[in-house]
């Protein structure tokens, strides 16, 4: 693990953090300075974060622009729900988003913020936030019409009941709990740490679970963070635990950079001389058996 940490730390230090933000849905959240706007926008953007990044950003901005006022104000007043009646995105139709926005308004009014709502369901004895995520989702679902539509269940998956990885909810928590403001050169913090400011001394980055998508699952197998081929909650927890052994207080430190290594196509599904030769984490990769000609070929290319 010390060797892997050195490789990952070097990889992260050479990564353009601002470029990662610009190529990620979190860029939209960085457009807002108000903490309540940040958590509302982050929740909406994270729940829409399935599919191509460009489509996610386009649809998320289109939804938020419908509200015509600051996001938190629009949600809390009910205007956001009213103005989102015709919003459609892949699995979401009809009242899917208006119902969610109304539930957000109720929960925010009850607790003061989504951050306080999540804080209210924490159990300090639990090793990670999996169970708290389930309780948080159940509270939101309880404020939505029953039975939930398929689109609504997809937006708000129950982590423990379905054993799914709840990638988008984990992504939301990463944005809200990890990090802080970007440094002046815009290379450091990809996440915002909004909840650390709304409810200080409450949340622990060490208890976050990695937002597991196909890119992270594949790369995690390549570098020995898991042997599992599935993409459920157990795999997400296993990968996170491996990362926790590398960085106990901040296991998701490398998540965004690793994920975009896959999204960009730089990390192939099969060994590729051209792509693999310049890979920043090649020394840790176990992608198949190294071809006999690899070393001589790589030396010629370097």
pLDDT tens for residues 159-188?
Answer: 888 888 999 999 999 999 998 654 444 445
Confidence of residue 264 (pLDDT cuts 50, 70, 90): confident
Calculate the dihedral angle through the C-alpha atoms of 167, 172, 174, 178, rounding to the nearest 10 degrees. 180
Residue 22 lies in a domain: yes
Residue 284 lies in a domain: no
Top-confidence residue, 140 or 188: 140
Q: 21 exposed, middle or buried (CB, 10 Å; 0-12, 13-18, 19+)?
A: buried
Q: Look at the chain and report how many structural domains it folds into.
A: 1
Nearest-CA neighbor of 55 among 90, 30, 31, 22? Answer: 90
Residue 235 lies in a domain: no
pTM strictly above 0.85: yes
Among 32-41, 128-137, 282-291, the range scoring the smallest mean pLDDT is 282-291
Mean predicted confidence (pLDDT) in 205-217: 94
Write out the residue range of the structural domain in which residue 93 sits: 16-208
Mean predicted confidence (pLDDT) in 237-256: 95
Residue 4 lies in a domain: no
Which sign, positive or negative, has the C-alpha torsion 52, 55, 61, 66? negative
């Amino acid at each position: 693990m010390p060797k892997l940490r050195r490789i990952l730390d070097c990889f992260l230090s050479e990564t353009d953090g601002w470029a990662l933000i610009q190529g990620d849905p979190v860029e939209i959240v960085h457009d807002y300075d108000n903490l309540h706007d940040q958590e509302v926008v982050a929740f909406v953007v994270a729940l829409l974060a399935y599919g191509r990044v460009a489509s996610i950003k386009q649809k998320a901005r289109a939804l938020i622009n419908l509200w015509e006022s600051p996001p938190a104000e629009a949600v809390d007043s009910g205007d956001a729900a009213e103005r989102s009646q015709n919003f459609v995105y892949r699995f979401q139709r009809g009242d899917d988003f208006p119902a969610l926005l109304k539930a957000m308004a109720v929960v925010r009014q009850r607790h003061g913020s989504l951050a306080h709502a999540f804080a209210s369901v924490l159990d300090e004895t639990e090793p990670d936030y999996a169970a708290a995520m389930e309780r948080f989702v159940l509270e939101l679902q309880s404020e939505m019409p029953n039975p939930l539509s398929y689109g609504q269940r997809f937006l708000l998956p129950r982590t423990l009941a379905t054993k799914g990885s709840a990638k988008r909810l984990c992504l939301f928590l990463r944005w809200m709990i990890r990090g802080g403001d970007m440094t002046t050169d815009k290379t450091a913090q990809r996440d915002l740490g909004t909840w650390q400011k709304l409810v200080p001394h409450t949340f622990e980055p060490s208890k976050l679970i990695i937002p597991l998508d196909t890119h992270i699952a594949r790369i995690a197998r390549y570098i020995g963070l898991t042997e599992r081929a599935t993409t459920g909650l157990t795999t997400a927890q296993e990968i996170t635990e491996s990362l926790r052994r590398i960085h106990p207080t901040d296991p998701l430190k490398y998540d965004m950079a690793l994920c975009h290594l896959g999204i960009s196509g730089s990390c192939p599904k099969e060994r590729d001389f051209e792509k693999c030769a310049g890979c920043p984490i090649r020394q840790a990769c176990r992608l198949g058996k190294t071809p006999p000609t690899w070393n001589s070929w790589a030396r010629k290319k370097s």
